[in-house]
Amino acid sequence: METREQSSLENTPNPNRMPRIKLLNISRLALASPLAYIIAFLLTFLIGGIVILALTGQNPITAYGSFFAYSFFSPYGILEVLAKSTPIIIAGAGMIIAFRCGLWNLGAEGQMAIGAIISTAIGVNLNLPAGVLLPLIFLASFIGGALWSGISGFLKTKFGVHEMLTTLMMNYVALKLLEYMISGPLSMPHPNYPRSSEILPQAQLPFLQYPLNVTFIIALVLVPIVWLLINRTSLGYRLQAVGFGHEAARLAGMNIAKLTLIVMLISGGISALGGTAEVVGDFMRMERNVTGGYGFTAIVVVMLAREEIIAMPFAALFISGMLVGASSLTLVGIPAAFSQILIGLLLLCVVFAGFIERWLKHRWEEKAKVVC
């Protein structure tokens, strides 16, 4: 991944020179990273503004004004941002576990679909009390998602097939399966368009305040749990060790194949809960767009957060703000797909920020040398 590769490429300061650098310069070096990020964000919105101006003829400043006013400063908009960020945070939490182990689990979208299918199948058909039904739905979805991404983990350990490609392909398989389910086995009687029946009332989680629902709290609880898993458990230390380098981890006596499999299982299981959350918290049934591309969006979120679990929810909220804000732009004739353009641009600009950061550090170190 970017962060690791780049950190090895940075010019490490000569240790003999280190103590002589003034405190001021050291703190300035620490500023390079946030400064580069700020430049990246400005650049994103600048290019996005040019796109608005050039393609739709709208005034980008008023467009951005209503964009931010809606998504971050209107009560309903904020609730919508929080609601949309829920599946992204859950899927992102699952993906980060794999990414930290150096595994490219890009299958969150498909794992979410599997979670959605299983939750719907149970939620529609098993008439159990809520106290039994809801835990069962979450547990079954976790297991289903885990097995689904476990396939990719197994193929990786057994045959050496790269998990990036298999998880991506499994996305499409799962989405087709979902489409088959809503038009076939799980279809409601006489639907207007392909969708399942509503899940039983006791399986439906309440809204905190529409459109925000209880699953957002689940997402927030998940983040510290994943943080603890990565940073405070032996499994977490081992998966990070593998993430830093196979050879060292292998020499330390770790069973990389077994670890790969476990990590893929946990990662897929958690991501699948994103689909469950959409079914039991928001849609209350299954439709074609129940996964809403959030699993793909989570890829960007994880990359923006540089695989840091604590930073990830903030990245998710920001991206979700873009999705919600862009939907307000449709009123003035700017297609909602503008959010996707911004997300792509943001990722490109943040990569470019890596270059700016290196350049700034290099320049300031040169200056520090002259001062000493």
Binding site for other proteins (CB under 8 A): 1-2, 5-6, 9, 51, 55-56, 155, 159-162, 165-166, 168-173, 176-177, 179-180, 183-184, 296, 299-300, 303, 335, 337-348, 351-352, 354-355
Closest separation in Å from C-beta 367 to other proteins: 22
The two structure tokens encoding residue 203: 């399986």
Closest separation in Å from C-beta 333 to other proteins: 9
The two structure tokens encoding residue 283: 């849609």
Closest separation in Å from C-beta 232 to other proteins: 28
Nearer to other proteins, 6 or 25 (CB): 6
CB neighbourhood size of 166 (10 A): 22
Nearer to other proteins, 32 or 342 (CB): 342
DSSP designation for 310: T
Strand spans (E) along the chain? 207-209, 212-213
Closest separation in Å from C-beta 372 to other proteins: 27
Assign 3-class secondary structure to the chain.
CHHHHHHHHCCCCCCCCHHHCCHHHHHHHHHHHHHHHHHHHHHHHHHHHHHHHHHHCCCHHHHHHHHHHHHHHCHHHHHHHHHHHHHHHHHHHHHHHHHHCCCCCCCHHHHHHHHHHHHHHHHHHCCCCHHHHHHHHHHHHHHHHHHHHHHHHHHHHHHCCCHHHHHHHHHHHHHHHHHHHHHCCCECCCCCCCEECCCCHHHCCCEEECCEECHHHHHHHHHHHHHHHHHHCHHHHHHHHHHHCHHHHHHCCCCHHHHHHHHHHHHHHHHHHHHHHHHHHHHCCCECCCCCCHHHHHHHHHHHCCCCCCCHHHHHHHHHHHHHHHHHHHHHCCCCCHHHHHHHHHHHHHHHHHHHHHHHHHHHHHHHHHHC
Nearer to other proteins, 225 or 351 (CB): 351
Closest separation in Å from C-beta 318 to other proteins: 14
Closest separation in Å from C-beta 297 to other proteins: 8
Nearer to other proteins, 183 or 255 (CB): 183
Nearer to other proteins, 59 or 233 (CB): 59
Closest separation in Å from C-beta 359 to other proteins: 10
Nearer to other proteins, 152 or 213 (CB): 152
The two structure tokens encoding residue 175: 């989405």
Closest separation in Å from C-beta 155 to other proteins: 6
DSSP result, 39-74: HHHHHHHHHHHHHHHHHH---HHHHHHHHHHHHHHS
Beta bridge partners of residue 213, listed in sequence order: 207
Closest separation in Å from C-beta 176 to other proteins: 5
Nearer to other proteins, 92 or 281 (CB): 92
Closest separation in Å from C-beta 152 to other proteins: 9
Nearer to other proteins, 3 or 233 (CB): 3
267-95-221 Cα angle (round to 5): 80
Nearer to other proteins, 86 or 166 (CB): 166
Nearer to other proteins, 133 or 299 (CB): 299
